[in-house]
């Protein structure tokens, strides 16, 4: 564990596609295969399993917790489930029929917690809200201009403007205005539209060209940050001012979060988070540092199995060309019983791709990965 | 029905809205990009030839990267241009390449690498494989895998 990692939870042995904390960071939900596990992490050294949400019958792709503590999960089984916390610590599931014919890929509560949006491979964004009269979650579809799977989406803090990005390389910004639930005041003077926000209206479109992996609004700056498969981070706004920066390692980022107005953290195929700084006045973004990355010596550790052969060779860590070193390796194994072990461990806490980031407070982010560890 | 798992259900759905190649080259892709006619391209090719014959390969590369022909009146025009670019790049001496590449910006490298990959995919370029690889080698040395991933994901192709 490096000095950057504040805490590491090793919770499960399966990939974690998504994780989420509740409003006071005491409850943590993670996805593992077809289930969602709920942990009490108020004592970070001892995470306690509170509940297992096991109603999905395919891989769960996203989990999100609302301000009221309701949990929404969505899955490749094409359904979403809203889990209402009960006083005895268990959760009551309500199935939400998204009416889609492909996997659901991402889910996000609106900031007020009364509706959520769910992206899918069916080229549909489903915006779902609870209808009291029918005791039923209604799903309304946004379809216009979507030609590909939606990989990620995010609500603006006003709860109406909804951005989503897909594999066709286009970021679409829509209105997710639900009559009777949202009020016009929420989008008063918003730069993203022109006064009218009927449901499903396409407000803005940004062409990026490659898969969009992660997308986040910054409401105070009215900026939208997204990361794409060409290893770039793009920050755009309603006036079409666009700033881009590439990840120095050349690997794509999977998710991006705003830690503050001047700081963003992204993470992805690098296995460690990367920090970017943003200058709101100049509108320029640049790479600032790698988090949790230890530069390795890159020298193979040599373990001598038999001690009788102690003549140490100088060329061991040497400059040999690849073919000869391979030949030598087998000769060593055959004649001397010597095995050289290459340390395959990465110098990072995560040993595999990071799938999602969440902001805990203004100095801490949490990340979940395709491997088992989990830190913030 | 034995092989029901292999039924193409999308083909049965008139509203399947499958993503097609045309969807990915939407007009939005072309916004602000010039469309070259075959005369325009002939002009650029002429300057490439004259720079190359006078041995000024820095100008060759600058011209290639400044005016990438992403959109032309026909595919033939684009092909013709790629062949000329490959020919010009191949005339450069291996010694000079690293110096020229080190003077390029990231975005210039991104354009150049498109021509290198395209060049290697055509027979004319395959003959010049060594020198094209030398160019590629120098770009990777300078930029790491950045230029490669951008080449792979960019839909503006030469």
- The tokens describing B3, both together, are 């092989």
End-to-end CA distance of chain B: 46
Question: Is A76 part of any domain?
Answer: yes
Q: A54 with A107, same domain? A: yes
Which domains, ranges and CATH numbers included, belong to chain B? 33-153 (1.25.40.190)
Is A83 in contact with A103 (CB distance < 8 Å)? Answer: no
Interface contact flag, A207 B29, Cβ < 8 Å? yes
Q: A143 with A189, same domain? A: yes
Nearest CA in chain B to A246: B146
Instruction: Quote the pLDDT of residue A323.
Output: 62
Interface contact flag, A248 B146, Cβ < 8 Å? yes
Q: Which CATH number goes with the domain that contains A144? A: 2.130.10.10
- B46 Cα to chain A: minimum distance (Å): 32
Interface contact flag, B153 A148, Cβ < 8 Å? no
CB < 8 Å to A250, chain B: 143-149
- Kindly state whether A166 is in contact with chain B, defined as any CB-CB distance less than 8 angstroms: no
Helices (H), chain B: 9-12, 21-24, 27-30, 38-53, 57-66, 75-91, 94-102, 106-121, 123-127, 129-143, 146-153
Q: Cα dist. A175→A162, A192, A221 in Å?
A: 6, 9, 19
- Kindly state whether B148 is in contact with chain A, defined as any CB-CB distance less than 8 angstroms: yes
A19-22's contacts with Cβ under 8 Å and 24+ in sequence apart are: A19/A63, A19/A356, A19/A358, A19/A366, A19/A368, A19/A374, A20/A63, A20/A64, A20/A65, A20/A71, A20/A358, A21/A65, A21/A358, A21/A360, A21/A366, A22/A65, A22/A69
The more confident residue out of B27 and B89 is B89
Structure confidence by residue, pLDDT tens digits, B59-72: 888 888 888 888 88
What pLDDT tens digit does each residue of chain A (376 aa) get?
A: 456 667 788 888 888 899 898 888 888 899 988 999 998 888 878 888 888 998 899 999 999 999 998 999 999 999 999 999 998 888 999 999 998 888 999 999 999 989 999 999 988 999 999 998 888 899 999 988 888 899 999 999 998 999 999 988 889 999 999 988 888 888 888 888 887 888 989 998 888 888 999 999 998 889 999 999 988 999 998 888 889 888 888 889 999 999 888 889 998 888 888 899 999 888 888 898 888 776 543 333 333 333 333 333 333 334 445 566 777 777 777 777 766 666 666 767 788 888 888 888 777 788 887 765 555 4
Nearest to B101 by CA among B130, B134, B78: B134
Structure confidence by residue, pLDDT tens digits, B130-148: 888 888 888 888 888 888 8
Phi, psi of A220 (to 5 degrees): -70, -30
- Kindly state whether A148 is in contact with chain B, defined as any CB-CB distance less than 8 angstroms: yes
Question: Is A8 part of any domain?
Answer: no
Interface test with A, best of B15, B27, B149, B151 (most A CBs within 10 A): B149
Interface test with B, best of A150, A209, A228, A236 (most B CBs within 10 A): A209
User: Is A352 exposed, middle or buried, given 0-12, 13-18 or 19+ CB atoms closer than 10 A?
Assistant: middle
- The tokens describing A323, both together, are 């073919």
- A252 Cα to chain B: minimum distance (Å): 8
Out of A123, A230, A251, whose CB is closest to B17? A123
CB < 8 Å to A229, chain B: 149, 153
Q: A30 with A119, same domain? A: yes
- Kindly state whether A229 is in contact with chain B, defined as any CB-CB distance less than 8 angstroms: yes
Question: Is A4 part of any domain?
Answer: no
CA distance A153 to A166: 9
- Kindly state whether A141 is in contact with chain B, defined as any CB-CB distance less than 8 angstroms: no
Q: A308 with A248, same domain? A: no
Interface test with A, best of B142, B147, B150 (most A CBs within 10 A): B150
This prediction has a pTM of 0.78
CB < 8 Å to B148, chain A: 250
Instruction: Quote the pLDDT of residue A140.
Output: 92
Q: What domain range is A185 assigned to?
A: 19-295+349-375
- Kindly state whether B23 is in contact with chain A, defined as any CB-CB distance less than 8 angstroms: yes
Which range has the worst mean pLDDT, A210-219, A220-229, B1-10, B40-49? Answer: B1-10
Out of A168, A209, A247, whose CB is closest to B19? A168
At which residue do the structure tokens 């491979």 appear?
Answer: A121
- Kindly state whether B8 is in contact with chain A, defined as any CB-CB distance less than 8 angstroms: no
Nearest to B135 by CA among B151, B156, B117: B117
CB < 8 Å to B147, chain A: 250
Q: A55 with A202, same domain? A: yes
- Kindly state whether B130 is in contact with chain A, defined as any CB-CB distance less than 8 angstroms: no
Question: Is A163 part of any domain?
Answer: yes
Lateral strand order in the sheet of A91-97: A60-65, A71-75, A79-85, A91-97
Q: A193 with A59, same domain? A: yes
3-state secondary structure of B14: coil
Instruction: Quote the pLDDT of residue A314.
Output: 34
Q: A318 with A203, same domain? A: no
Interface contact flag, A250 B146, Cβ < 8 Å? yes
Question: Is A279 part of any domain?
Answer: yes
Interface contact flag, B153 A248, Cβ < 8 Å? no
Question: Is A39 part of any domain?
Answer: yes
Interface contact flag, A246 B17, Cβ < 8 Å? no
Is B118 in contact with B82 (CB distance < 8 Å)? Answer: yes
User: pLDDT band at B17, cuts 50/70/90?
Assistant: low
Percent of chain B at pLDDT above 70?
Answer: 89
| CB neighbour list of residue B129: distance below 8 Å, 6 or more residues apart | B120
Question: Is A7 part of any domain?
Answer: no
Nearest to A227 by CA among A175, A286, A281, A165: A165
Q: A99 with A213, same domain? A: yes
Number of domains observed in the structure of chain A: 2
Instruction: Quote the pLDDT of residue A15.
Output: 87
Q: A189 with A168, same domain? A: yes
Structure confidence by residue, pLDDT tens digits, A331-375: 777 777 766 666 666 767 788 888 888 888 777 788 887 765 555
CA distance A212 to A314: 49
CA distance B77 to A23: 59
- A107 Cα to chain B: minimum distance (Å): 23
Interface test with B, best of A169, A247, A270 (most B CBs within 10 A): A169
Instruction: Quote the pLDDT of residue B25.
Output: 65
Q: A325 with A291, same domain? A: no
Q: A212 with A141, same domain? A: yes
At which residue do the structure tokens 């021509």 appear?
Answer: B115
Question: Is A13 part of any domain?
Answer: no
Instruction: Quote the pLDDT of residue B28.
Output: 65
Q: A30 with A150, same domain? A: yes
Out of A147, A249, A250, whose CB is closest to B17? A147
Q: State chain B's mean pLDDT as an integer.
A: 84
- Kindly state whether B107 is in contact with chain A, defined as any CB-CB distance less than 8 angstroms: no
Nearest CA in chain A to B16: A122
CA distance A351 to A371: 6
Cα–Cα–Cα angle for A334, A335, A341, rounded to 5 degrees: 60
């Amino acid at each position: 564990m490096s000095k950057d990692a504040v805490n590491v939870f090793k919770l499960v042995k399966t990939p974690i596609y998504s994780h989420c904390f509740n409003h006071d960071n005491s409850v943590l939900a993670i996805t593992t295969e077809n289930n969602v596990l709920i942990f009490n992490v108020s004592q970070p050294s001892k995470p306690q399993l509170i509940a297992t949400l096991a109603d999905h019958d395919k891989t769960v792709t996203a989990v999100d917790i609302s301000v009221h503590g309701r949990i929404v999960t969505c899955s490749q089984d094409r359904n979403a489930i809203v889990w209402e916390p009960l006083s005895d610590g268990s959760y009551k599931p309500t199935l939400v029929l998204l009416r889609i014919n492909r996997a659901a890929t991402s889910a996000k509560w609106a900031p007020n917690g009364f509706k959520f949006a769910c992206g899918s491979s069916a080229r549909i964004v489903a915006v779902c809200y609870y209808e009291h009269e029918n005791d039923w979650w209604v799903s309304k579809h946004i379809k216009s201009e979507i030609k590909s799977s939606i990989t990620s989406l995010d609500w603006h803090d006003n709860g109406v403007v909804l951005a989503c990005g897909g594999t066709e390389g286009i970021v679409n910004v829509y209105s997710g205005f639900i009559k009777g639930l949202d009020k016009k005041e929420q989008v008063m003077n918003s730069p993203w539209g022109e006064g009218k926000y009927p449901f499903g209206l396409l407000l803005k479109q940004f062409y990026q060209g490659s898969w969009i992996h992660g997308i986040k609004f910054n409401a105070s700056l009215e900026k939208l940050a997204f990361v794409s498969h060409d290893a770039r981070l793009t920050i755009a706004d309603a006036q079409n001012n666009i700033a881009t920066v590439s990840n120095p390692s050349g690997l794509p980022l999977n998710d991006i979060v705003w830690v503050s107005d001047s700081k963003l953290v992204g993470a992805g195929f690098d296995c460690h988070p990367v920090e970017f700084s943003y200058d709101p006045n100049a509108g320029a973004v640049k790479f600032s540092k790698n988090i949790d990355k230890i530069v390795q010596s890159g020298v193979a550790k040599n373990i001598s199995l038999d001690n009788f052969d102690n003549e140490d060779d100088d060329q061991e860590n040497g400059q040999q060309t690849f073919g000869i070193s391979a030949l030598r390796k087998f000769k060593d194994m055959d004649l001397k019983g010597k095995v050289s072990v290459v340390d395959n461990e990465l110098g990072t806490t995560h040993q595999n791709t990071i799938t999602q980031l969440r902001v805990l407070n203004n100095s801490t982010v949490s990340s979940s990965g395709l491997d088992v560890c989990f830190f913030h | 029905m034995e092989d029901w798992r292999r039924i193409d259900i999308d083909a049965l759905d008139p509203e399947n809205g499958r993503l097609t190649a045309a969807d990915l080259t939407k007009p939005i892709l072309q916004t602000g990009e010039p469309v070259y006619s075959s005369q325009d391209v002939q002009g650029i090719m002429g300057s490439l030839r004259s720079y190359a014959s006078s041995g000024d390969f820095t100008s060759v590369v600058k011209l290639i990267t400044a005016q990438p022909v992403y959109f032309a009146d026909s595919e033939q025009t684009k092909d013709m241009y790629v062949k000329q670019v490959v020919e010009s790049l191949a005339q450069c001496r291996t010694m000079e390449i690293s110096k020229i590449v080190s003077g390029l910006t990231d975005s210039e490298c991104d354009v150049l690498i498109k021509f290198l990959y395209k060049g290697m995919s055509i027979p004319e370029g395959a003959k010049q494989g060594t020198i094209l690889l030398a160019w590629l080698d120098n770009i990777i040395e300078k930029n790491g895998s950045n230029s490669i991933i951008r080449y792979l994901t960019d839909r503006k192709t030469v």
